[in-house]
Chain A
Amino acid sequence: MTDALSRLLETRDWLLADGATGTNLFNMGLTAGEAPELWNDEHPDRIRLLYQSAVDAGSDLFLTNSFGGNASRLKLHGADGRVRELNRQAAEIGREVADKAAHPVIVAGSVGPTGEIMSPMGTLTHETAVEMFHEQAEGLKEGGVDVLWVETISATEELRAAAEAFAMAGMPWCGTMSFDTAGRTMMGVTSADMVKLVGKLPNQPIAFGANCGVGASDLLRTILGFAAAGPERPIIAKGNAGIPRYHEGHIHYDGTPELMAEYAILARDAGATIIGGCCGTMSEHLRLMRDALENRPRGERPTLEIIAELLGKFSSTSDGTGDDQTPVRRGNRRSRS
Chain B
Amino acid sequence: MADDEIILSELDDEELVAQMFDDLYDGLKEEIEEGVNILLERGWTPYDILTKALVGGMTIVGADFRDGILFVPEVLLAANAMKGGMTILKPLLAETGAPRVGKMVIGTVKGDIHDIGKNLVSMMMEGAGFEVVDLGINNAVEKYLDALESEKPDILGMSALLTTTMPYMKVVIDTMKEKGIRDDYIVLVGGAPLNEEFGRAIGADAYCRDAAVAVETAKSLVARKHNQPAAH
Contact = CB atoms under 8 A, between A and B. Distances in A.
Tell whether A pairs with B.
Answer: yes
Interface of A: 20, 22-23, 25-26, 30, 32-36, 68, 72-73, 75-77, 115-117, 121-122, 154, 178, 180-188, 243-247, 251, 279-280, 316, 318, 320, 326-334, 337
A25 B70 CA distance: 35
Contact of A243 (B111, B112, B195): B195
Contact of B167 (A32, A115, A186): A32
A244 B72 contact: no
Nearest to A278: B163
Q: What is the interface of chain B mostly: helix, strand, loop, or mixed?
A: loop
Given A245-B201, A334-B4, A32 B72 contact: no
Q: Could you say which of A34, A75, A115, A187 has the most chain B C-beta atoms within 10 Å of its C-beta?
A: A115
A156 B204 CA distance: 34
A330 B71 contact: no
Contacts of B197: 245-246
A246 B202 contact: yes
A247 B71 contact: no
Given A22-B163, A330-B60, A334-B22, A316 B76 contact: no
B76 A33 contact: no
21 contacts: A32-B110, A32-B164, A32-B171, A33-B140, A34-B164, A178-B192, A186-B71, A187-B71, A188-B71, A244-B163, A245-B201, A251-B166, A251-B167, A318-B68, A326-B68, A330-B22, A330-B64, A333-B18, A333-B19, A334-B19, A334-B26
A316 B5 CA distance: 38
Q: How big is the B interface, by class?
A: 35 or more
Interface of B: 1, 4-6, 18-19, 22-23, 25-26, 60, 64, 67-74, 76-77, 109-116, 137-138, 140, 161-168, 170-171, 192-195, 197-198, 201-202
B165 A33 contact: yes
Ranked 7 nearest A-B pairs via Cβ: A182-B68, A188-B71, A33-B111, A33-B110, A246-B201, A32-B168, A32-B167
B21 to A, nearest CB: 8
A30 B170 CA distance: 15
B72 A188 contact: yes
Contacts of B202: 246
B1 A334 contact: yes
Given A22-B164, A247-B201, A333-B19, A121 B77 contact: yes
B116 A186 contact: yes
Contacts of A251: 163, 166-167
Contacts of A328: 69
Contacts of B192: 178, 180, 186
B198 A246 contact: yes
B198 A245 contact: yes
A36 B112 CA distance: 12
